[in-house]
Amino acid sequence: NGHLDLFLRFLLGLSLDPIQTLLGGLLTQTHKANPIATFFQRPQAQTESRSKSIKKTVQYIKEKIRKESSAERTINLFHCLNELNDNSLVEEIQNSLRSGKLSGKMLEPEQCSALAFVLLMSEEILDEFDLKTYNTSAAGYQRLLPVTRNCKKAILNSCDLTEKSYDIVASALQLSNSPLRELDLSYNNLGDSGLKLLCAGLMSPNCELQRLGLNSCDLTEKSCDIVASALQSSNSPLRDLDLSYNNPGDSGVKLLCAGLMSPNCKLQRLG
């Protein structure tokens, strides 16, 4: 579930030759006959064996990246590769970004994970992140979603997003100092269950989202009740909300009005 991710990266970092040599030297200075120190002071043959073992570990992690369905897990796997000083997938994406070839290239899911890693590690907050800029599959789009943590405006419309996708976006909204101010999810099959996940992010005290596009998202009366609850929350930041081309019905509109009339509601435009 991710709670040991940092520990895993720490262990992988310890496996590198320079670190093991340093540890061996430190242990030798403090305990001359320490068997642990002897372990770290390996002969050349054992060092070569360790190098082969690291290469096998790198290949295993790359294979996991190709097969892993979770966008969050693949980002951590790239951190693991970074600990082992293997940045081949990341360098490939960086070269494509610099050459301007990325937009026309069909990206495999693992390449999308590499791109997400590069964009997340950048200190620069993106003004706009448009998911459809990248030519990839639905699985590739899923791998790119963590980039919503690092942008001011996220355009995710018409991308066949799944329920798991909205959980990732909601997590981005809940981050401390979240930069996300505009989010367009129009023309996705969000539905009531997806909106419920998203609203967990909207109701977070860290959420600063001001504009939300939910045009043609298959929302019903139940969705209006969920949106109304978000609008009534004490820290609701929304100023602009587009709910056009959904199916709320008269009863849904009535529920929505309860949220609009709340003193906590800051909405200035409803579409």
Q: What is the model's pLDDT at position 39? A: 45
Q: What is the model's pLDDT at position 188? A: 93
Q: How many residues does the chain have?
A: 271
pLDDT at 41 over 60: no
pLDDT at 186 over 90: yes
Mean pLDDT of 237-257: 89
3-class secondary-structure state, position 2: coil
Where do the domains of the chain lie? 1-122, 152-271
3-class secondary-structure state, position 69: coil
177: Cβ–Cβ under 8 A, 6 or more apart, which residues?
A: 206
Mean pLDDT of 252-259: 86
Closest CA to 246 of 212, 213, 215: 215
Mean pLDDT of 70-97: 73
Closest CA to 199 of 114, 75, 253, 190: 190
Give me the residues paired with residue 269 across strands.
240
DSSP 108: P
pLDDT at 40 over 60: no
Mean pLDDT of 4-11: 64
Q: Which residue has the higher pLDDT, 152 or 120?
A: 152
The CATH superfamily assigned to 152-271 is: Ribonuclease Inhibitor (3.80.10.10)
What is the tens place of the pLDDT at every residue in 130-160? 999 888 999 999 999 999 999 999 999 999 8
Lookup: tokens for 176: 């401390």
Closest CA to 143 of 121, 125, 124, 117: 117
pLDDT above 70 coverage of the chain, percent: 77
pLDDT at 252 over 70: yes
DSSP 149: G
Q: What is the model's pLDDT at position 197? A: 92
- The pTM for the full model equals 0.74
pLDDT above 90 coverage of the chain, percent: 29
Q: How far apart are CA 152 and CA 25, in angstroms?
A: 48
Count helices and strands in the chain by DSSP H and E runs: 12, 8
pLDDT band at 82 (very low <50, low <70, confident <90, very high): confident
Mean pLDDT of 233-257: 88
What is the tens place of the pLDDT at every residue in 12-29? 666 665 555 555 555 555
Total Cβ atoms within 10 A of residue 11: 12
Q: How far apart are CA 71 and CA 43, in angstroms?
A: 40
